[in-house]
């Protein structure tokens, strides 16, 4: 018997990627099963997609939690192993010259909310955590709890642009407004930066004169629904190998990057 991988999912919105992944699990395109769906948004439409299935769901309402904590900082319950200096060293989403106090507050609030998220996830052991339109930054506190070792990547994300171009919240919008002739989507592992983790797969589509943001989103999403399941299946087949590659720059300087090598591809 083939062992299926256990997949946990976090969503914030419509959940069309989640749907494609559920369908792929059911049809056998992914050798896996969804063991929970969690969200930061009580109104996430994607929750309806699992309502008729026996998949556990939960909500950790980020918006209310942030408001609560901001109103009364004494309400923040920090995890016992919270260490702000460790998080500051690792966190690389904000620029290096960002206001230190603001970064500290951001990371403190996040860790407190992520503790709740981890508590909700605990009853459902998983092999892979997928972010399927989860619109919240995960702090190193959370990431370290899932990855356990630095290069043991277990969180995957889909991003609506051809990374490393256009990280952030609005990949298709940024691609469109820049006047790009090609758009695309990327599946990557999560690291401590903003959409900066090792790339697993990418798909591209042409952008024509008469394309609008809407048509670009439609083209992109159609590719996302193929790409994400295929990357998850490669994880399930144990085909994603993390390797360090050394690249030499024109200056002669050498840089080391962590990249994904796909086993079975030359
Ligand atoms: C997708 O475009 C994905 O790339 C981005 O958020 C969107 C989620 O769409 N991260 P859906 O909720 O899967 O329909």
Sign (positive or negative) of CA dihedral 18, 22, 23, 24: positive
State in Å: Cα 264 to ligand 1 middle.
29
State in Å: Cα 250 to ligand 1 middle.
37
Q: Verify whether ligand 1 is closer than 6 Å to residue 190 (CB atom).
A: no
Closest listed residue to residue 126, CA positions, set 149, 145, 151: 145
188 is catalytic: no
The residue assigned the tokens 């507050």 is: 105
Q: Is the peptide bond before 16 cis (omega within 30 degrees of 0)?
A: no
172-177 mean pLDDT: 98
pLDDT value at 75 more than 90: no
Say what the pLDDT of residue 70 is.
84
Mean pLDDT for the chain overall: 95
Say what the pLDDT of residue 97 is.
86
Q: Whose CA is nearest to atom 10 of ligand 1?
A: 133
Q: Verify whether ligand 1 is closer than 6 Å to residue 133 (CB atom).
A: yes
DSSP string across 168-209: SS-HHHHHHHHT-SEEEEEEEE--SSSS-SPEEEEEEEE--T
Q: Verify whether ligand 1 is closer than 6 Å to residue 15 (CB atom).
A: yes
235 burial type by CB count under 10 A (0-12 exposed, 13-18 middle, 19+ buried): buried
User: pLDDT of 115-150, one tens digit each?
Assistant: 999 999 999 999 999 999 999 999 999 999 999 888
Query: Which of 136, 154, 159, 203 is the catalytic position?
Result: 159
Q: Whose CA is nearest to atom 14 of ligand 1?
A: 16
Length of the chain: 266
Q: Verify whether ligand 1 is closer than 6 Å to residue 16 (CB atom).
A: yes
Runs of H (alpha helix) within the chain: 16-27, 46-51, 62-71, 84-90, 100-121, 140-147, 171-178, 213-236
- Distance between CA atoms of 240 and 262, rounded to whole angstroms? 5
For residue 1, what pLDDT band results from cuts at 50, 70 and 90? low
Say what the pLDDT of residue 136 is.
96
Residues 6+ apart with CB under 8 A from 209: none
Say what the pLDDT of residue 76 is.
86
User: pLDDT of 40-57, one tens digit each?
Assistant: 999 999 999 998 899 999
Q: Verify whether ligand 1 is closer than 6 Å to residue 158 (CB atom).
A: yes
207-211 mean pLDDT: 98
Query: Please, are residues 161 and 38 in contact by the beta-carbon 8 Å criterion?
Result: no
Say what the pLDDT of residue 17 is.
98
Say what the pLDDT of residue 165 is.
98
User: pLDDT of 238-247, one tens digit each?
Assistant: 999 999 999 9
């Amino acid at each position: 018997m083939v062992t299926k991988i256990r997949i946990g999912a976090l969503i914030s919105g419509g959940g069309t990627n989640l749907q494609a992944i559920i369908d792929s699990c059911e049809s056998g395109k992914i050798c896996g099963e969804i063991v929970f769906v969690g969200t930061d948004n009580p109104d996430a439409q994607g929750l309806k997609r699992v309502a008729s299935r026996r998949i556990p769901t939960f909500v950790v309402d980020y918006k209310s939690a942030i408001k609560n904590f901001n109103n009364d900082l004494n309400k923040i319950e920090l995890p016992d192993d919270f260490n702000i200096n460790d998080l500051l060293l690792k966190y690389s989403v904000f620029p290096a010259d960002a206001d230190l106090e603001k970064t500290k507050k951001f990371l403190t609030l996040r860790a407190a909310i992520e503790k709740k998220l981890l508590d909700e996830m605990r009853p459902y052991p998983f092999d892979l955590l997928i972010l399927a339109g989860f619109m919240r930054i995960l702090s190193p506190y959370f990431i370290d709890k899932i990855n356990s070792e630095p290069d043991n990547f277990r969180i995957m994300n889909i991003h609506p642009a051809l990374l490393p171009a256009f990280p952030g919240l609005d990949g298709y919008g940024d691609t469109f407004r820049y006047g790009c002739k090609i758009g695309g989507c990327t599946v990557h592992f999560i690291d401590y930066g903003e959409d900066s983790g090792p790339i697993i797969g990418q798909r591209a589509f042409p952008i024509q004169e008469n394309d609008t943001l809407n048509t670009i989103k439609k083209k992109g999403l159609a590719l996302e629904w193929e790409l994400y399941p295929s990357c998850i299946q490669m994880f399930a087949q144990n085909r994603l190998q993390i390797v360090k590659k050394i690249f030499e720059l024109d200056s002669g300087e050498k840089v080391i990057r962590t990249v994904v090598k796909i086993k079975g591809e030359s």
